[in-house]
């Protein structure tokens, strides 16, 4: 009998209702019943062949679930949740044509972009997210200013923060713009907002962040806001949770750019404090101040034009 029992949160996730972590929250909140009895204990197990499970009053059935696997290129300004209490657009708005109920595997910040897997396969979702599988996730990050060798080494070596020690698997410069720098980060565990917190701890301000790969799965040739269907085998093998002798790794076509030992005097350093005003917590205030300044300049220009007397062209 014990071999047929599974944890309730796993069963809910396997039925495609939501992720295992969210299922735990639903159990604790009393949203789940087994054989018409409310269950709030996380250690509870069920027999899928005998027990009747309802979530929010709806019967869930493992045998009735068709597994779906989607890769989405998440645009900026979308929330990686099923719904948002603030009314912001969510990634689910981009998948309305998908008839099955899917949910995001992991997350990307509201302002972040790039590769996001959505599925109703709880077992596969858990494999992708579990730190023990050490799946490498690759991000391209544009930061303000020029990154010199000293600052690059600081990023590589990692920093101690209030949330613990943060250190990427690797980091390199892939493009140098006049006043900004594109970096490529590779993360193993990939904790919440790890890159943004790591950069901020080094005095660096992120302008754009996009995830380009998970294992060997990429979003090459997939436009922002678009998604593609995959089979379980395809996505498992590409990410590296399938039965493969080696874990696939994404290799970028972008070459590493040599980093200056010291940033030229007339060039802004990436850790310059003036860029802090562009961080998320200061961004809207900064943009509003620019708007007020531009409106003031325009008002002064209009006033100056009105003071100029028209030239009399009559002889």
Residue among 214, 208, 209, 206 at smallest CA distance from 247: 214
Q: At what angle do helices 20-28 and 122-129 cross, to 10 degrees?
A: 110
C-alpha dist (Å) from residue 289 to 144, 148, 280, 285, 301? 19, 30, 15, 6, 18
Question: Which position has the token pair 């594109």?
Answer: 182
- Is 109 annotated as catalytic? yes
Q: Among 14, 51, 56, 109, which one carries the catalytic annotation?
A: 109
Opening angle at CA 213, ends 227 and 156, nearest 5: 150
> How many other C-beta atoms lie within 10 A of the C-beta of residue 209?
23
Under DSSP, the state recorded for 255 is P
**3-class state of residue 214 by DSSP:** strand
Burial of 83 (0-12, 13-18, 19+ CB in 10 A): exposed
CB–CB of 115/213 below 8 Å? yes
List the catalytic residues: 109
């Amino acid at each position: 009998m014990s071999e047929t029992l599974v944890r309730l949160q796993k069963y809910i996730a396997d039925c495609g209702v939501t992720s295992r972590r969210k299922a735990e929250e639903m159990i604790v909140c009393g949203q789940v019943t087994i054989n018409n009895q409310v269950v709030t204990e996380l250690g509870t197990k069920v027999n899928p062949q005998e027990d009747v499970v309802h979530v929010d009053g709806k019967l869930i059935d493992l045998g009735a679930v068709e597994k779906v696997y989607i890769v989405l290129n998440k645009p900026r300004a979308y929330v990686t949740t099923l719904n948002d209490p603030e009314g912001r657009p969510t990634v689910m708005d981009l998948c309305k044509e998908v008839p099955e109920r899917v949910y995001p595997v992991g997350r990307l910040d509201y302002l972040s972009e790039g590769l996001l897997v959505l599925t109703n396969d709880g077992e596969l979702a858990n494999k992708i997210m579990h730190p023990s599988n050490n799946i490498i996730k690759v991000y391209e990050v544009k930061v303000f200013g020029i990154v010199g060798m000293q600052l690059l080494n600081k990023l590589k070596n990692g920093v101690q923060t209030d949330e613990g020690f943060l250190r990427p698997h690797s980091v390199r410069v892939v493009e140098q713009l006049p006043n900004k720098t594109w970096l490529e980060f590779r993360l193993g565990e990939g904790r919440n907002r790890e890159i943004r917190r790591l950069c901020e701890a080094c005095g660096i301000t992120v302008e754009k962040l996009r995830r380009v790969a998970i294992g060997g799965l990429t979003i090459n040739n997939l436009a922002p806001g678009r998604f593609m269907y995959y089979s379980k085998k395809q996505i498992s093998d590409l990410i590296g949770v399938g039965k493969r002798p080696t874990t696939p790794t994404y290799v970028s076509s972008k070459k590493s750019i040599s980093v200056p030992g010291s940033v030229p005097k007339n060039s802004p350093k990436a850790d310059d404090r003036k860029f802090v005003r562009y961080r998320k917590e200061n961004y809207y205030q900064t943009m509003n101040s620019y708007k007020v300044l531009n409106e003031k300049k325009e008002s002064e220009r209009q006033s100056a034009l009105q003071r100029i007397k028209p030239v009399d062209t009559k002889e």
